[in-house]
Amino acid sequence: MEKIETPTAMEKTVEAITVDGLTYTYLKNRLTGGDIYVNADKTAYLRTHTASAIAGELNITRDLSERGFPVPHVLGEGTLVTGESYFIEESIGDKVFGDIFSEETKAVGQASAASFEALTLIMKTYCAAQCNPNNYVPHSDEALAQMTALANVMRNNPPSEEMHGPFMEAYDKASSRVRSLPWGYIQSDLNAFNILPNGVIDFELAGVGPVGYDALTNIYFGRIWPKEMVRYRFSNEQIAAYIAELDAVAKAYGVPRISDYEDDFLVLKNMWGSGKDKKSEENPGSSPEFWAWRVRVRDWCIRQYLKGEKIDTDRFEEVGSQN
């Protein structure tokens, strides 16, 4: 175990933690609990949480690295005197693509070609690891429910009486269709804010699901927010090029085209999007307009899907803003 120099009580987040003489400064809170710290030259990050949570995330990070996923290497692990556990991982970039794209969108209206290409390269590596037959896992109803945060959705934003039947019909239809794909490991909350120039981070919610699911829905993440909350923009041309690259990866591994399952993935992702994160669950009355926006988009996606009509993500803002 590494030597820890830190306060003996942690009633609130401490500003710094020192491990073997190297100081890590508080960076941010983790939505699922615990905190993230970074060293002075931003070459390593220290993540804290309960012992069980850290053990799970540590094991999946190491396993995914061995399976060829673009994830950080683990540099150390241990237990703080407060009882919290931690692990240290190498930096795979000092700025997430979400911040890069946000700056570019603010300056020129959308993500730059160079930055977008860099994201695409990382996601091709990620998708290739998913599509590798050595990394396949069995289908599972329980895993699909976890992937869509179904229990969370039903607890916090259940479908109305009118929409309950269509909701379950769409869920069952999409479930049946995505079973025709191989299943593998997924990050579960993949988006530009946990992708860096050299890989993917934040696997505390990792699970299993159809290959290509999070790689594809990642590209639409910015569109499942009301316009006043959108931080970056991709053009339809960029999105089409990105999905074509995923299809090429799938073809190389003998997997069906990812794009053939786009609407199945989108309806499941928008169900997931109507769940609530830890902070929102702890504050039930928070952001009612935002969650109403998400539910309207979810229900519209369900109706489109069951009619066999294309889910046009360009319409999300229009649909979500309707009263």
User: Measured between alpha carbons, how far is residue 148 from residues 174, 275, 300 in Å?
Assistant: 11, 8, 17
- Rounded Cα–Cα distance for residues 125 and 129 (Å): 6
Q: How many CA atoms are closer than 13 Å to the CA of 80, on its beta-carbon side? A: 27
- What pTM was computed for the model? 0.89
Per residue of the chain (323 residues), give pLDDT as tens.
Answer: 333 333 333 445 789 999 988 999 999 888 778 899 999 999 999 999 999 999 988 999 999 999 999 999 999 999 988 889 999 999 999 899 999 999 999 999 999 999 999 999 999 999 999 999 999 999 999 999 999 999 999 999 999 999 999 999 999 999 999 999 999 999 999 999 999 999 999 888 899 999 999 999 999 999 999 999 999 999 999 999 999 999 999 999 999 999 999 999 999 999 999 998 777 777 877 889 999 999 999 999 999 999 999 999 999 999 999 97
Question: Beta-carbon neighbour count of residue 271 at 10 Å?
Answer: 26
pLDDT of residue 5: 39
At residue 203, the pLDDT reads: 87
What domains does the chain contain, in order, with CATH numbers? 4-90 (3.30.200.20), 97-320 (3.90.1200)
Looking at residue 7, its pLDDT comes to: 36
pLDDT of 14 reads: 83
Q: Which residues lie closer than 8 Å to 46 by C-beta, 6 or more apart?
A: 17, 19, 24, 36, 37, 38, 39, 86, 87, 88
Q: What is the pLDDT of residue 138?
A: 95
Long-range contacts: 134-139, Cβ < 8 Å, 24+?
A: 134/67, 135/67, 135/68, 135/184, 135/185, 136/182, 136/183, 136/184, 136/211, 137/183, 137/184, 137/185, 137/208, 138/183, 139/179, 139/183
Q: Are 27 and 37 contacting, i.e. CB atoms less than 8 angstroms apart?
A: yes
How far does the chain reach from its first CA to its final CA, in angstroms?
57
| Distance separating alpha carbons of residues 122 and 111, to the nearest angstrom | 16
The helix or strand, by DSSP H or E, that contains position 74, with its residue range, turns out to be strand 74-79
Helix pair angle (288-307, 262-272), 10° resolution: 150
Predicted confidence at residue 151, as pLDDT, reads 96
Judge whether 258 and 247 are in contact, CB under 8 Å: yes
